[in-house]
Amino acid sequence: MSEPQSVRGYIVGRLPFGNTSLIVKALTDPAGRLTFMAKGAARPKSPFAAQLDLFYLAEFLYQPSRSAEMHTLREVRLIEPHLGLRKSYANLLAAHYFAALIEAITEAGTPVPQEFDLFGKALGYLCENEITWRVIERFEQRILALAGIAHREHDLPRAFQMLHHRVPAPREELLKLLAAKKS
């Protein structure tokens, strides 16, 4: 059995598993995207209580899986909850969209230090400022550049179509929300 490992990362997804467990997706430094099984996390007296919410920055201690992509989460230490995101639905949706973009262009378990840093800066910005179309556009262009598919004449939907990817669903809702704010 391998030794437990520790990584720092942002929680970018959570799914219930059974009655008391959670599947937690995280964008980590330096291990990239990782998936954890947090056994018993939904129990009232769980040591994971109030530690596994979306976009929290945390230190994860996990037991690596030998053959699967899902690792067993042992401990979590909260570093930054990014509570400023909860003040605006649009900002929370933007964070969700940015996480979905990173997930679409990266592979699980592959180090993505620049994407990790970009996502951290984006969360920090969204905690302090309202989301705008310009911020979305800048994030999209930066992600496309990091993926090596940036072209001045291509916007994100066209670039994703060329790669046979689908644009993450939150984009359309976010753009509608921003258009409604302008009206």
Tens-digit pLDDT profile for residues 45-90: 999 988 999 999 999 999 999 888 999 999 999 999 999 999 999 9
Query: Which CB contacts under 8 angstroms, 24+ apart, belong to 114-122?
Result: 114/146, 115/27, 115/143, 115/146, 116/9, 116/10, 116/27, 116/28, 116/29, 118/142, 118/143, 118/146, 119/10, 119/27, 120/10, 120/57, 122/94, 122/95, 122/98
Helix pair 89-105, 113-128: axis angle to 10 deg: 170
Name which residue leads in pLDDT, 17 or 104.
17
**pTM reported for the whole predicted model:** 0.91
Residues of the chain with CATH 2.40.50.140: 5-80
Q: Widest CA span of the chain, in angstroms?
A: 59
Name which residue leads in pLDDT, 44 or 153.
44
Query: What is the pLDDT confidence band of residue 161, given thresholds at 50, 70 and 90?
Result: confident
The full length of the chain comes to 183
Tell whether domain 5-80 is in CATH 2.40.50.140.
yes
